[in-house]
Amino acid sequence: MMTPYVGSSDSNRTIIPGVNLQNPYPLGFNTPTGSSLGVETLLGDAVTVPNEDYVLPYMQQWQVSVQRELPWELLFEAAYVGTHAVKILESINLNEVPDSVASVKASADLKVPNPFLAYPELFPPTTTLGNPGSKTINASQLTKPYPQFTNVNMQRLNTGRVGYNGLQLRLQKRLSQGLAFVAAYAFSKTMVYEQRSLVNERVQKTVSASDTPQLFRLSVTWDVPFGHGRTWGKDAPAALDWILGGWGIGWQTKYTSGAALAVEQNRMGNPIPVRDPTTPGGIHDRLGDQLDAEGNVLNPWFDKTAFQPLADTYAISPTALRYGWIRGPYSFFHNAALFKTFSFSDRIKLELRIEANNVFNSPQFASPNDPLDDNPVLDISDPNFVVNDASTTERSVRFGAKLRF
């Protein structure tokens, strides 16, 4: 039986006297009780219950594709791909404040005397609700379905599902005359259907955090047609062929759409978008690096006035968690490689390779993240409301050699 750290009884607004990091458990630890307390086990704290009737999730997949052979050793393919993941396991808190009583303003600033302190035999002082420093508690605690527990988490509920639909295109050239490439493009959408609550039934259909509506990849290898045995320079002097002949080039181009962002308001909920918040211009026009004399950002990534704020912590937001048209920066960069094999004899060969990542040294800007769960999120309570990070993908060059004998 764990002893939870309890430093506050009102969402960290008021610190319980005597509790600190040097002495986090001044009242001691919970004693393991086994099954002796029955339904009274963990009264005053959070309880986690496994769903014993869960089933294993499964996935349904389907695909229809058409291929066509084209001149010049080309192959074109178009495919529709669908995936449906069903009965995904979720953990849900069964002890939420019901929407039906949220209108009574059961908010964090409304306090009531803590009635659980009158039953120390059921709510020991080491529990959250039985802590003697918690003279008052939030009124919202008494409106929960199980007020004697802080949370009632049920694990392994088969309530989630994910749907993917995509158009996938591929153009491929088989190796001929020293050239081969594959170009692939996908246009897709990934939606998640999350229950998220059994106390308050609301639609929770939203774009997945991993949704990438547009994705392009290009991979090319080309034997430079100069040198002995190639189109040009067949009769070149040995020294010239040694330096310039027999080289190969590799190239990769990667484009990925920006991540779908969750928009929050001081971690209370999702504010309501009243218009498209996207500000005009490209990535470099919206980085939040231009300030006025008072320090206000002149070029934010989004216009936060495009959202209607929530009235309070318990306001019911009808919006989805994420929208497909509220996204972070896309990524677009190129890699290159130059390689050649030097033959000293039939048995001794030297392979030389030079690789460059992010050839043009283009900055790749990352989406803002919620520091608590690392999900892409924008908070309209942030005074700047900007994309505030650039990934460390500066150009890098590597040299490699391999001797084979």
Burial class (CB in 10 A: 0-12, 13-18, 19+), 281: exposed
161-183 burial, b if ≥16 CB within 10 A, otherwise e?
Answer: bbbbebebebebbeeeeebbbeb
Amino acid at 163: G
User: In the chain, what percentage of residues exceed pLDDT 90?
Assistant: 33
Given pLDDT bands bounded at 50, 70 and 90, which one contains residue 204? confident
Give the residue-averaged pLDDT of 237-243: 81
Q: Given this model, what pLDDT does residue 94 score?
A: 92
Residue from 179, 170, 168, 169 nearest 73 by CA? 179
For residue 355, is pLDDT > 90? yes
Which of 38-42, 221-225, 290-294, 372-376 ranks highest by mean pLDDT? Answer: 221-225
Which of 99-108, 227-236, 303-312 ranks highest by mean pLDDT? Answer: 303-312
Q: How far apart are CA 348 and CA 343, in angstroms?
A: 6
For residue 139, is pLDDT > 80? yes
User: In the chain, what percentage of residues exceed pLDDT 70?
Assistant: 86
Residue from 320, 312, 298, 202 nearest 265 by CA? 312
For residue 180, is pLDDT > 90? yes
Torsion of Cα atoms, 340 then 343 then 348 then 349, to 10°: 0
Both tokens of residue 207?
Answer: 């774009």
Q: Cα–chain-centroid distance for residue 352?
A: 39
For the chain, count helices (H), then strands (E).
2, 20
Q: How far apart are CA 397 and CA 353, in angstroms?
A: 11
Q: How far apart are CA 318 and CA 204, in angstroms?
A: 10
> Among the listed ranges 221-225, 270-274, 286-290, which one has the minimum average pLDDT value?
286-290
Given pLDDT bands bounded at 50, 70 and 90, which one contains residue 15? confident
Q: Given this model, what pLDDT does residue 227 score?
A: 82
Each residue of 283-294: pLDDT tens digit? 888 877 888 888
- Dihedrals phi, psi of 370, to nearest 5 degrees: -70, 120
Residue from 137, 141, 136 nearest 98 by CA? 141
Q: How far apart are CA 70 and CA 146, in angstroms?
A: 67
Amino acid at 65: S
Q: Given this model, what pLDDT does residue 29 score?
A: 65
Q: Cα–chain-centroid distance for residue 257?
A: 13
Amino acid at 295: G
Burial class (CB in 10 A: 0-12, 13-18, 19+), 116: buried
Q: Are 242 and 228 in contact (CB under 8 A)?
A: no
- E strand spans, 243-380: 248-256, 260-264, 272-273, 307-308, 322-327, 331-343, 349-357, 364-366, 377-379
Q: Given this model, what pLDDT does residue 95 score?
A: 92
Give the residue-averaged pLDDT of 238-249: 84
Both tokens of residue 367?
Answer: 């989406």
Each residue of 299-335: pLDDT tens digit? 888 888 888 888 776 677 778 888 888 888 888 989 9
Q: How far apart are CA 304 and CA 96, in angstroms?
A: 29
Q: Where are the alpha helices (DSSP H) in 178-293?
A: 238-244
> Among the listed ranges 17-21, 76-80, 185-189, which one has the minimum average pLDDT value?
17-21
Read out DSSP for 46-90? -EEEE-TT----EEEEEEEEEEEEETTTEEEEEEEEEEEEEEEEE
Residue from 248, 258, 266, 276 nearest 352 by CA? 248
> Among the listed ranges 22-36, 88-102, 154-168, 264-278, which one has the minimum average pLDDT value?
22-36
Q: Given this model, what pLDDT does residue 185 score?
A: 98
Q: Given this model, what pLDDT does residue 211 score?
A: 93
Average pLDDT taken over every residue of the chain: 84
Amino acid at 59: M
Q: Given this model, what pLDDT does residue 42 score?
A: 79
- Please tell me whether residue 157 adopts helix, strand or coil conformation: strand
Q: Are 232 and 244 in contact (CB under 8 A)?
A: no
Q: Given this model, what pLDDT does residue 102 score?
A: 67
Residue from 239, 247, 262, 278 nearest 370 by CA? 262
Q: How far apart are CA 211 and CA 322, in angstroms?
A: 10
Q: Given this model, what pLDDT does residue 33 score?
A: 65
Q: Given this model, what pLDDT does residue 303 score?
A: 85
Given pLDDT bands bounded at 50, 70 and 90, which one contains residue 346? confident
Residue from 159, 257, 255 nearest 211 by CA? 257
Which of 100-104, 180-184, 319-323, 395-399 ranks highest by mean pLDDT? Answer: 180-184
Given pLDDT bands bounded at 50, 70 and 90, which one contains residue 103? low
pTM of the model: 0.76
Q: Are 165 and 189 in contact (CB under 8 A)?
A: yes
Q: Given this model, what pLDDT does residue 199 score?
A: 86
Each residue of 43-70: pLDDT tens digit? 888 888 899 999 999 999 999 999 999 9
